[in-house]
């Protein structure tokens, strides 16, 4: 036993991930690697048409194939209920298909090969309908209606096809969702303006490309309880939703999340393959496993929302912003998932990233026959920031102001409550701007590149700046944003941390363990984290909105502090000292001042059984602190804390080929406080490169409703040689409500890259491109058109 132990904090250290050794050695079992005794393999037949009526389905040949246990269509599951955010989507389609991903039938068979062979034996007769693939056409008179009211063969509601649930009533037009927000008086704002710009920005389809494809295993026990092995990011919400879809008692559904091969928001909704696998398990009485192919992953998983965004904004000569008016059209695709709700986040950037007195925001998400959009890291913020930050540069240039000064003049300060009602208790935006600019040499480079723009030379350099605002202390998009923790200590001083928070690779289990160890003076090796079984873990709203460190972290700290209080009280009683003068360090109880060791923790814990009857199981919950929730007009606070960042991007543009290379990204991130330095660096670097892909290389090409590039050969992710040099700085604003002062960071790094890249291309060439991605062809054409004009 050491004589003294000095205080040693884990906060801000480089902590290796608890799950990394298993993952690096190939021992981790993802959903693809799990097999359940007696399982069958599920496969789905998808539509071969973009928009069509289903006239006839014949499954008899498939059913006759040896090794096939079930072939199901909508007619076999009359109990199915619509899924998704707007409940407009039946897992198995009844009378029509609305996109090429649409599920028509499903097979459960003894092997994947037999299931695939069976799919080929299913006959489907279609009657093609006109295709609506351009969102601009969705509201035109005579546009094909994507969700007409369902009618039976005789035209009445009474004789609907078997399998059509009554709840599904159709839609009178192609509007899936609308959002409207207003503050001040934009007309008055425009009258005060010296400069006004109006432009339309085009944001494209991209998709998550999780390295682990989607999959699920569904199994009923003999009492009818359902066990799902699922990659969901929201296990507790899905218990309830699956229950609704299946007409079950939610208490009878258990969700176990195996380690997840990437999430990024793609697993926030229920998709048809999940209930369909349950239907197959029900039909066969056997466990059924269904795993996508990569092609299927491209065709049938969600996308980021494509947006056409028209922004009108103005400022005075002195650089004060006056107003913003935004109209957006979102391509919802054939069904409604979370993508339709991203305007909720977009309007925050429009109204509150900088001080704008007058704002008007209208958005419509319209149905088309295209792939449907879900939630994706940043949740609409990449799109909004792309437009807002380009206009910031354009206005600065028009009034002859340095773009950095222009932003600093309009940047928020700590303590502000914006007209939308967001309360910025901690706010490091100005420090982010100044730091990113100073470290990168932004001002000097900006001027030098501008001066060099019209000189001869094929390769031009550019520097661009953009900032972002995002929720960093949970997000009040559900009625509650809580997380529970159970903390158990054993006789040997080891801790089991049972948390509702899900790990999707981001490192939550490590940071939660770290926060607990900080309170209890234990090494990381003393903690085991249990975080993936709804039967065991306490409730949590799910892993999204950059919320886990903040919400689950505060919850874990709460439980650890309870344990600490009990231990120190017991130790004080035994040693005849004041609990206030004791501390926990290195597995020992010590005197706080001197560090003198009083006793070993494990010995004390063992004695407690006999002396104190101490209950060494702690429970705690954390809910976001009380604040004014948003009202129906979207006024109010949405998070307990907000994250800020500025990124400066340096590019090289080859004016002969249109190739844009990202040379360097300098980021300054207000993260509240760095908890795990290794983890936060990794998240930011990964986010930057995801943003780079969005800006330069990634595009899901959808033509007439057909995805043309469902594979990594033609959908280009950034590869290792293409990454920029990165210099990331942390602005530690020590948020008063954050766990140890920290705020969320998961989404932030991906948000500004495209906007900053657009500004950098303009700095390099004088040409502004308002459509993504900046492929060589697009850039070449833009430069070429500009040259022609100049000539």
Q: Which of 599, 591, 600 is nearest to 492 (CA)?
A: 600
Query: CB–CB of 665/688 below 8 Å?
Result: yes
CB of 522 to another protein, least distance (A): 20
Q: Of 259 and 741, which has the nearer Cβ to another protein?
A: 259
Q: Which is nearer to another protein, 267 or 407 (CB)?
A: 267
CB-nearer residue toward another protein: 51 or 267: 267
Whole-angstrom CA distances from 539 to 191, 484, 536, 650 are: 51, 6, 9, 44
CA distance linking residue 745 with residue 473, whole number of Å: 10
Residue 44 CB, shortest distance to another protein, in Å, is 17
Using the rule CB under 8 A, is 689 a contact of another protein?
yes
Those residues with Cβ within 8 angstroms of residue 751's Cβ, 6 or more apart along the chain or in another chain: 378, 381, 382, 385, 468, 470, 645, 687, 691
Indicate the residue among 443 and 716 with the shorter CB distance to another protein: 716
Site for another protein in 489-518 (CB under 8 A): 504-507
Q: Is 558 in the site for another protein (CB under 8 A)?
A: no
CB of 544 to another protein, least distance (A): 16
Distance, in Å, from the CA atom of 26 to the CA atom of 21, rounded to the nearest integer, reads: 9
Angle at 290 between CA 288 and CA 293, to 5 degrees: 160
Candidate list 685, 770, 776, 778; residue touching another protein; CB under 8 A: 685
**Residue 686 near another protein by CB under 8 A:** yes
Contact flag: residue 474 with another protein (CB under 8 A): no
Q: Are strands 321-333 and 307-315 parallel, antiparallel or unpaired?
A: antiparallel
Residues 6+ apart with CB under 8 A from 525: none
The smaller minimum CB distance to another protein, of residues 299 and 690, is found at: 690
Mark the segment that binds another protein (CB under 8 A) among 234-242, 258-266, 274-282, 582-590.
258-266
- The pair of three-digit structure tokens given for residue 358, joined into one six-digit string: 């007058």
**Closest to 506 (Cα-Cα) out of 734, 686, 266:** 686
Selection from 81, 220, 40 nearest residue 92 by Cα: 81
Asked whether 73 and 123 are in contact (CB, 8 A), the reply is no
| Count of Cβ atoms closer than 10 Å to residue 276 Cβ | 26
Other C-beta atoms lying within 10 Å of the C-beta of residue 467: 27
Query: What would the x/- binding string for another protein be over residues 190 to 229, using CB under 8 A?
Result: ------------------xxxxxx----------------
Q: Does 261 bind another protein (CB under 8 A)?
A: yes
For the window 133-172, what string marks contact with another protein as x by the rule CB under 8 A?
A: ----------------------------------------
Q: Which CB atom, from 473 or from 505, has the smaller least distance to another protein?
A: 505
Residue 216: HSE in the Cβ half-sphere, 13 Å Cα cutoff: 26
**Nearer CB in complex with another protein: 91/710:** 710
Task: Say how many residues touch another protein, by CB under 8 A.
Answer: 56
* Residue of 67, 184, 682, 776 interacting with another protein (CB under 8 A): 682
Whether residue 226 has a cis bond before it, omega within 30° of 0 = no
Nearer to another protein, 114 or 563 (CB): 114
Contacts of 651 (CB under 8 A, 6+ apart): 461, 462, 463, 464, 660, 661, 662, 663, 757, 760, 761, 764
Could you say whether residue 727 binds another protein (CB under 8 A)?
no
- The set of residues, in sequence order, having a beta carbon less than 8 Å from that of 631 and lying 6+ positions away, is none
| 48 forms part of the interface with another protein (CB under 8 A) | no
Nearest by Cα to 47 from 146, 109, 117, 125: 125
To the nearest whole angstrom, how small is the minimum distance from the Cβ of residue 54 to another protein?
30
Pairing of strands 582-585, 588-591: antiparallel
Q: Which of 57, 175, 717, 770 binds another protein (CB under 8 A)?
A: 717
Q: What x/- string results for residues 10 through 39 when contact with another protein is judged by CB under 8 A?
A: ----x-xx-xxxxxxxxxxxx-xx------
Restricted to residues 290-349, the positions that interact with another protein (CB under 8 A) are 293-294
Instruction: Read off the DSSP letter of residue 539.
Output: P
**Considering beta carbons, is residue 232 or 328 the nearer one to another protein?**
232
Angle at 340 between CA 234 and CA 362, to 5 degrees: 140
Give the position of tokens 């709203």: 541
Instruction: Sort strands 483-489 and 617-622 into parallel, antiparallel or unpaired.
Output: antiparallel
CB of 598 to another protein, least distance (A): 33
- Residue 16 or residue 162: which is nearer to another protein going by CB? 16
Among 659, 678, 771, 786, binds another protein (CB under 8 A): 678
Q: Does 288 bind another protein (CB under 8 A)?
A: no
Q: Candidates 170, 565, 711, 736: give the one binding another protein (CB under 8 A).
A: 711
Could you say whether residue 652 binds another protein (CB under 8 A)? Answer: no
By CB under 8 A, is residue 93 in contact with another protein? no
Region of 96-104, 270-278, 553-561, 678-686 interacting with another protein (CB under 8 A): 678-686
CB of 10 to another protein, least distance (A): 15
| Chosen residue from 152, 184, 250, 262 binding another protein by CB under 8 A | 262
Q: Is 183 exposed, middle or buried (0-12, 13-18, 19+ CB in 10 A)?
A: buried
The footprint of another protein (CB under 8 A) covers: 14, 16-17, 19-30, 32-33, 208-213, 259-264, 293-294, 504-507, 678-679, 681-683, 685-690, 711-713, 717-721, 723, 726
């Amino acid at each position: 036993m050491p004589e003294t132990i000095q205080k040693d904090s884990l906060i801000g250290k480089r902590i290796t991930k608890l799950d990394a050794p298993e993952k690096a050695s190939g021992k981790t079992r993802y959903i693809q690697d799990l097999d359940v005794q007696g399982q069958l393999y599920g496969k789905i037949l998808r539509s071969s048409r973009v928009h069509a009526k289903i006239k006839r389905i014949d499954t008899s040949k498939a059913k006759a194939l040896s090794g096939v246990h079930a072939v199901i269509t909508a007619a076999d599951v009359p109990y199915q209920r619509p899924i998704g955010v707007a409940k407009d989507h039946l897992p198995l389609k009844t009378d029509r298909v609305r996109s090429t991903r649409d599920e028509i039938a499903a097979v459960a068979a003894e092997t994947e090969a037999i299931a695939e062979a069976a799919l080929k034996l299913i006959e489907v007769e279609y009657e093609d309908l006109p295709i609506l693939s351009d969102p601009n056409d969705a509201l035109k008179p005579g546009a094909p209606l994507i969700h007409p009211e369902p009618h039976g063969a005789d035209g009445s509601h009474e004789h609907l096809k078997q399998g059509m649930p009554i709840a599904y009533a159709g839609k009178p037009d192609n509007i899936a969702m609308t959002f409207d927000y207003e503050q001040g008086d934009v007309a008055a704002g425009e009258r005060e303006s010296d400069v006004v710009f109006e432009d339309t920005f085009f944001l494209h389809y991209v998709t998550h490309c999780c390295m682990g494809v989607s999959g699920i295993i569904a199994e009923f026990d003999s009492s009818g309880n359902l066990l799902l092995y699922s990659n969901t990011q929201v296990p507790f919400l899905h218990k309830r939703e699956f229950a609704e879809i299946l007409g079950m008692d939610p208490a009878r559904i258990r969700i176990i999340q195996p380690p997840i091969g990437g999430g990024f928001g793609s697993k926030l909704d229920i998709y048809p393959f999940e209930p369909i696998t349950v239907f197959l398990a029900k039909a066969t009485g056997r466990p059924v496993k269904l795993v996508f192919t990569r092609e299927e992953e491209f065709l049938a998983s969600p996308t980021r929302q494509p947006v056409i965004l028209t922004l009108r904004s103005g400022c005075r000569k002195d650089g004060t912003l006056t107003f913003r008016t935004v109209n957006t059209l979102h391509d919802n695709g054939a069904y409604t998932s979370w993508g339709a709700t991203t305007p909720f986040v977009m309007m925050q950037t429009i109204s509150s990233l900088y001080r704008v007195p007058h704002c008007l925001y209208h958005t419509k998400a319209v149905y088309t026959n295209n792939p449907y959009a879900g939630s994706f890291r940043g949740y609409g913020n990449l799109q909004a920031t792309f437009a807002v930050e380009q206009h910031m540069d354009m206005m600065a240039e028009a009034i002859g102001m340095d773009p950095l000064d222009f932003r600093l003049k309009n940047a928020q300060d700590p303590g502000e409550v914006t007209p939308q009602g967001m309360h910025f208790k901690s706010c490091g935006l100005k420090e982010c701007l100044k730091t990113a600019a100073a470290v990168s040499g932004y001002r000097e480079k900006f001027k030098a590149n501008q001066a060099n723009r019209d000189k001869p030379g094929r390769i031009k350099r550019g520097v661009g700046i953009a900032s972002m605002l995002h929720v960093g202390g949970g997000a009040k998009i559900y009625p509650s944003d809580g997380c529970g923790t159970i903390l158990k200590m054993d006789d040997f001083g080891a801790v089991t941390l049972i948390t509702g928070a899900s790990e999707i690779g981001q490192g939550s289990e490590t940071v939660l363990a770290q926060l607990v160890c900080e309170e209890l003076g234990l090494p990381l090796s003393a903690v085991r984290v249990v975080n993936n079984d709804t039967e065991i873990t306490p409730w949590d709203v799910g892993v999204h909105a950059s919320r886990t460190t903040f919400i689950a972290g505060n919850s874990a700290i709460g439980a650890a502090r309870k344990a600490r209080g009990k231990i120190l009280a017991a130790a004080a009683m035994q040693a005849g000292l004041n609990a206030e003068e004791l501390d926990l360090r290195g597995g020992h109880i010590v005197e706080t001042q001197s560090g003198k060791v009083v006793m070993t923790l494990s010995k004390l814990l063992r004695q407690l059984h006999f002396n104190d009857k101490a209950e060494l199981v702690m429970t705690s919950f954390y809910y976001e602190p009380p604040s004014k929730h948003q009202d129906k007009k979207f006024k109010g606070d949405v998070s307990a804390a907000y994250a800020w960042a500025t990124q400066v991007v340096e590019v090289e543009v080859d004016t002969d080929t249109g190739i844009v290379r990202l040379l360097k990204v300098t980021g300054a991130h207000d993260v509240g406080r760095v908890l795990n330095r290794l983890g936060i660096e990794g998240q930011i670097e990964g986010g930057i490169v995801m943003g780079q892909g969005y800006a330069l290389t990634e595009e899901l090409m959808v033509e007439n409703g057909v995805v043309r590039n469902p594979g990594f050969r033609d959908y280009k992710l950034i590869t290792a040689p293409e990454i920029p040099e990165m210099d990331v700085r942390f602005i530690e604003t020590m948020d008063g409500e954050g766990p140890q002062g920290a705020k969320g960071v998961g989404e932030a790094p991906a948000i500004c890259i495209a906007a900053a890249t657009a500004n950098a291309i303009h700095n390099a060439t004088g040409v502004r491109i308002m459509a993504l991605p900046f492929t060589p062809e697009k850039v070449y054409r833009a430069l070429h058109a500009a040259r022609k004009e100049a000539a």
